[in-house]
Structures are given as structure tokens and as C-alpha cells.
Amino acid sequence: MEDYSNGWAYSFQEKEGTVSLPASFDVPKNVEITFWKVVPEDVRDGDAIVFRSRMQYAQVYVGERLAYQFPEQDLIGRELTSAWNFVRLNETDAGEEIRIVVRSPYARFSGGIGEVYYGDFDDMVTEIISRQSKVYRTSFLTGIVGAVIVLLSVISRRYHLDSWPISQGILLVFVSFWLCGESRLPSGIVGLEAWHYFAVLSLLFCPVFVAAYLYHRWPDICGKATRILFYICLADVGASLMSEFLGGPDLMELLPVTVSLVTALLGYAMLIHILAARRKKGKFIRSEIVCLLIIFLAGIVEVVRFYRDSGQVGGVMRVAILIYSVNLLRISVISLFRRVRENRELARMLRKSRAELMASQIKPHFIYNTLNSIRTLIKIDPEQAQKTVYDFSTYLRSNLENVGERELISFSDELRHINAYLNIEKIRFGERLCVAEDIGTKSFQIPPLSVQPLVENAVKHGLCAKMDGGTVTIRSREEADAYVVEVEDDGIGFDVESIEKRGKVNDKFSHIGLENIRFRIREIARGRLDIHSRPGEGTKVTVTFPKEERKGDECHAGHDRG
């Protein structure tokens, strides 16, 4: 394939001259410009010339014969596409004049023509495919990276990682469609028009996904402005498609608006990331800023080239986007491995907390006292002794079953455990212990031993510390988005604020491990434990269980990790 770009003549609107290709003249849209030259004398059958037209109608005459035209048939859509034009020659064309006539309905592409090459038809097809395949592979690789990021994000949902990489991965897939469509491969199975619409529509939707990603990831940084930008981009998509279908300016004529939006959003994304870095919102944010800066600078270069020269997306932007996508893949992989490691540590801590809680539930004094109570009851009240044995066996069985691996049990099971414990304590404390229940609902799941120890604390350290005892009240209710359990006593109470200032729990809660219970409620059920107490007035512990329950390895909505 040899360069055949020198020695051409041109003419349009009574202007003519000689020129070396590529060339571009100030020609109004839909006005023809003709380039001509003499065919070599040594032309052979199977030889050809090839040139690339950009959004242009093209006709090639050899002598008086119409040797080629593009498009060869009516277009499916309204828009022209760019194309490689292969014009076959034969020996009878030797010494004939070859004329290339081009015109474009777009002023930006009117009056221009690229390099012309001459050589064997098959060799030139192979050479161009080989050359442009390198560009195509770079573009395609960006889409592969984006798809892998989406796949990793879906897989890592069980670890409840940030979901913004999904939107970013989808954005990279759309960018890949755009770049692949602009890779200048000769038409194949997909066809020129399909490639063209893939490219233009993908570019049209890119600003929408950029704005959605920025809002999804940084809702607390310029959230209102980002939302407005998202709706502006969405309106641009709607207006452009409506104009295309209703016969107004087509997508190519409206492309400058989309290109301007993309450029503006790149600058805005840079600003958002800089603000995020200043607020220390991610370990990897600096690498993203560097990659965005590379893309922004590459975008400026490509916009200049788009309007001045080729009208195509070159390799600078492709490489910049590929660098960004690979860096994002690196971030996704590191974040996933980090969360897996954190979840393993969380699982270890949960096992440890379970073991500690189980150990705290096995109280020799309680067992001895209960057995002594049963021995006494056997002599004076056998029927009550039988009921107490049943309650004691229920209490022990619940403790032993909760040593298992169940993360959640029904509140009705926990309530059965609580009632067994309270029945035993009533035998010991008699009228000093009163129990009241206001159970609005039992049909929800909670971590085992998350309420029973609170009742035990209320009895032993709230009521029984008073000479005349008191009442422990257990309530449950359903709210719009949560289930709430309250354990309240009118015992001695304590000063919550002073305890929080000291950074520890008082004797009332220390041995039972309140922080252990709080940790398990938070990590297993995403719940919350609140304590309200005043000295001499009693204590109320409120536990809130969100309706959307999750296991421990899913309960964290991780902070942004860049």
C-alpha cells in the first residue's frame, strides 16, 4: 500500500487548483468538491485506490465510468456515516482520469478528504484492518474492564461494598461502544450504520452516566448541582432523540452540544474529586484525580483535533480512558479483597463475642440457687417444682442452642427464653419481682441473646438492688421501618452521661457485657441499642431492629475507598 496523495487537482464553485492530500476547504454544506488525477500506466487488474470519507457522499469516476459510490443503497437512518472507500481498478483504466466527488450535509465535514492510497485491493484491506484493529482492541479492552468492574460489584454485593462502581463500570461500557464505533474499522458483520449509531448514541448517553455516577458517589458534595446537571444531560438526550425522529437537526448536527457537556462534566468531575480529596474521603482519590486530569487534557486535544482535522477520536483519548479504567479496576479489586479481609475479622469478632456471651450466661450461682429452689419446692409444692424444672430446662436449652451458628432467631423464641428466666427468678425473689408485658408483635428476627441479658440486668442490678424490688416491663411494637423492643425497670437507675464521659459501663452492665450485646445487634441485624436512665428513677433500654435485616457480612455500607 503506497501513498497516492500528491499531485491532485481540485475544483468547486469556480475555484480550482492543485493540492496534496489530506486537504480541507471552506465549502458550504451540500456543495460538491471534485479531486482528480491520472491513473498510473502500470495499473493491473486487482489494484485499487482507497480513501476515507467523513460523513460524506462520495462518487468515483474513472474516465466516464462510475466506478464507485457511497452509499451504494439508501440509508436506513437519516445520517451519513464515515467509511473506507475501496475503488477497484483494472488494466483498461491505465492513463484515465480518476475523479473523486464528495459532498456532505454537514458544514463541519464539507470540503475535506483524507489521504489516498494505491495498491493491491486485498493487501490494502488487510493492512487497514490490521492497523485499525490495534485502535479497536484498545477501545474494546476498556469495555471489558468496565464489564469486569460491574461483575465484581455484583459479586461483592454480599459484602455490601459501595455500589457506585456499578454505574462507573456501565459508563465505561458505553464509552467503549463509542470508541469502538469510532475505531475506523472497515464495515463487517455489524455494518457501518450500526457502528455509527452505536457510537453516536453511546456518546449521547455518556454525560447522563457521568452525572449519575458523580451524584451516586458524592451526594454530600455539590449534590444539588450534580442533580441539576443530571437532568440537563437527560434533557439533552431526550431533545436530541426527539429532534432525530421528528425531522429536526439530527444527532450529528447536535453533537457539539453533547461534546460540550462531556467536556464540562469532565471538568466538574475533577472539581468534585478535588473537594473529596480535601475532605479525605478515600484512599485512592489521588490516583483518580491524576487519571481524570489525563482524560481532561486528552479530551482538550481530541476536541481540537475533532474540529480542526480528522473529526474522529484518536489514540490519545483511548489510552487515557484505558488508564482510568484499569486504575478503577485496581481500586475495585483492592476494595473487594479489603472487605473480604475485614469480613473475616468481623466473623472472628462475632465468634469471640458469642463465646464471651455464652460464657457469661453460664452462672454457677444461678444454677446452684435454682437447684436449691427446686429441692425446696419438691417438699412443699411438688407441682410448682415441676413447673420450675420445666422453666429451668427451657432456660438451659435456650442457652445451649444459642451457642450454635444461628445468626438470627425469632423474637418469640427469645421471649420464651425470657419468660423461663423470669419464672425462675420469681421463685427466688417472690413479690419483690413483678413482670409486665406489652407485646405488640413477635414475628421478627433478632440475634440470639440480645434481649434476655437486658432483662436479666434489669432484674438483678435494677430491681433487686432495691429493698422493696419493683417491676420489669417488656414491650415490643412494629413501626414503619423497624421493630422496637423495650426493657424498662423502676429500679435504682444510674447516670448515663457520667458513664459515657468515663468511657465505660458501670457495674450494672459490665459483667454481662453490654458492649458485646450492642456490637452483635449492630453487626448482625444493623440494629441500635439506646439506654435512658436516671438515678432513683429506673432504666429503659430500647433496641431497634430495622426491617431490612442483614447478616454480619452484609451490614456495613462501607465508606468510599476511592
- Which tens digits make up the pLDDT trace of 331-389? 888 877 877 777 777 666 666 666 556 555 556 677 777 888 888 888 888 888 898 89
Please indicate, yes or no, whether the overall pTM of this predicted structure exceeds 0.85. no
pLDDT of residue 283: 63
The arithmetic mean of pLDDT across residues 251-265, rounded, is: 85
pLDDT of residue 158: 66
Higher pLDDT, 424 or 362: 424
pLDDT of residue 376: 84
Grade residue 132 by pLDDT with cuts at 50, 70 and 90. Answer: confident
DSSP-based helix, strand, coil % in the chain, nearest 5 = 55, 20, 25
Give residues with Cβ within 8 angstroms of 57, minimum separation 6: 69, 70, 71, 80, 102, 103, 104
- Nearest-angstrom CA–CA distance, 295 and 266: 8
Burial bucket for residue 522 (CB in 10 Å: 0-12, 13-18, 19+): middle
* Contact yes or no for 2/11 (Cβ under 8 A): no
pLDDT of residue 494: 79
In this predicted structure, which of 209-218, 304-313, 380-389 has the lowest mean pLDDT? Answer: 304-313
User: In the sheet where 15-19 sits, what is the strand order?
Assistant: 15-19, 8-12, 33-38, 97-103, 57-62, 65-70
Is the pLDDT at 505 greater than 50, yes or no? no
Grade residue 504 by pLDDT with cuts at 50, 70 and 90. Answer: very low
Q: So where are the chain's domains?
A: 2-114, 124-343, 362-554
**What are the backbone dihedrals phi and psi of residue 41, each rounded to the nearest 5 degrees, phi first?**
-75, -25
pLDDT of residue 237: 92
Grade residue 556 by pLDDT with cuts at 50, 70 and 90. Answer: very low
pLDDT of residue 242: 92
In this predicted structure, which of 233-247, 376-390, 393-407 has the lowest mean pLDDT? Answer: 393-407
The arithmetic mean of pLDDT across residues 135-152, rounded, is: 88
The arithmetic mean of pLDDT across residues 85-112, rounded, is: 90
User: In the sheet where 2-3 sits, what is the strand order?
Assistant: 2-3, 116-120, 47-53, 83-88
Name the 3-class secondary structure at 87.
Answer: strand
Burial bucket for residue 304 (CB in 10 Å: 0-12, 13-18, 19+): exposed
527 secondary structure, DSSP code:
-
467 secondary structure, DSSP code:
T
What class is the 2-114 domain?
Answer: mainly beta
Is the pLDDT at 48 greater than 80, yes or no? yes
The answer to whether the peptide bond before residue 105 is cis (omega within 30 degrees of 0) is no
User: In the sheet where 482-489 sits, what is the strand order?
Assistant: 433-439, 470-478, 482-489, 538-546, 528-534
Is the pLDDT at 541 greater than 70, yes or no? yes
Higher pLDDT, 154 or 549: 154
The arithmetic mean of pLDDT across residues 167-179, rounded, is: 86
| Cα pseudo-dihedral 448, 452, 453, 454, rounded to 10 | 120
What CATH homologous superfamily does 362-554 map to?
Histidine kinase-like ATPase, C-terminal domain (3.30.565.10)
* Contact yes or no for 353/403 (Cβ under 8 A): no
Q: Distance from CA of residue 127 to its chain's centroid?
A: 40
The arithmetic mean of pLDDT across residues 241-245, rounded, is: 89
Give residues with Cβ within 8 angstroms of 1, minimum separation 6: 50, 117, 118, 119, 120, 123, 124, 127, 128
* Contact yes or no for 64/35 (Cβ under 8 A): no
| Cα distances (Å, whole numbers) of residue 423 to 385, 387, 515 | 11, 9, 27
Grade residue 159 by pLDDT with cuts at 50, 70 and 90. Answer: low
Higher pLDDT, 402 or 227: 227
Is the pLDDT at 401 greater than 80, yes or no? no
Angle formed by the axes of helices 255-278 and 223-246, to 10°? 170
